[in-house]
Amino acid sequence: MKLSNQDLGLPGRHIHVACAIIERDGYVLAAQRSAIMSLPLKWEFPGGKIDMGETPQDCLQRELNEELGIRIVIGKPLSLATYSYQSFTVTLYPYVCSIDSGELVLHEHADIKWCKPEKLKILDWAEADGPVICEYLEQLQMY
């Protein structure tokens, strides 16, 4: 039996989103949501909704090409992170990535920043990204 969000006490719809922690030269890419998107002007790891029948990795390639004009090399996955906002629940499928080709062009986001990992928490992140940031930083300290 499959339980609905209401059965689990979760609000509204549940979306599944692949996101990329893109590393380059000791920095990590953060993307700021546009003013017209849900969670306006919050910072996030770029990515998008996983379509039916699509793998998280295929989703990342598609979304990052559409949103930022780049192709990526997908590396290590991090733990799934689920967060319930007031009107929806999101599960993030995070992957550590690097840019393979293309030049960053903003098609949907308001801004992007390359941040040193230890400075990531300074930005006003979408709440769902919080556990992803924490796990990423913990793993960096292990090396």
pTM, 2 dp = 0.89
- Report residue 3's pLDDT band, with 50, 70 and 90 as the boundaries: very low
Residue 1: predicted pLDDT: 42
Q: Which of 16-25, 35-44, 127-136 has the lowest average pLDDT?
A: 35-44
Residue 60: predicted pLDDT: 97
- Report residue 112's pLDDT band, with 50, 70 and 90 as the boundaries: very high
Residue 11: predicted pLDDT: 56
Q: What single string gives the DSSP state of each residue in 47-111?
A: EEEPPTT--HHHHHHHHHHHHHS-EEEEEEE---EEEE-SSEEEEEEEEEEEEEE-----SS-SE
Q: How far apart are CA 38 and CA 127, in angstroms?
A: 12
- Average pLDDT taken over every residue of the chain: 91
- Mean pLDDT of all residues in 58-67: 97
- Domain parsing of the chain, residue ranges: 13-142
* CATH superfamily membership of 13-142: Nucleoside Triphosphate Pyrophosphohydrolase (3.90.79.10)
Residue 124 has pLDDT above 60, yes or no: yes
Using the CB atoms, write b or e for 31-55: b if 16+ within 10 Å.
Answer: bbbeeeeeeeebbbbbbbebeeeee
- Report residue 6's pLDDT band, with 50, 70 and 90 as the boundaries: very low
Please give the residue that has the higher pLDDT: either 7 or 20: 20
Please give the residue that has the higher pLDDT: either 67 or 3: 67
Query: Token pair of 101, please?
Result: 């080709």
What are 71-107's pLDDT values in tens digits? 999 999 999 999 999 999 999 999 999 999 999 999 9
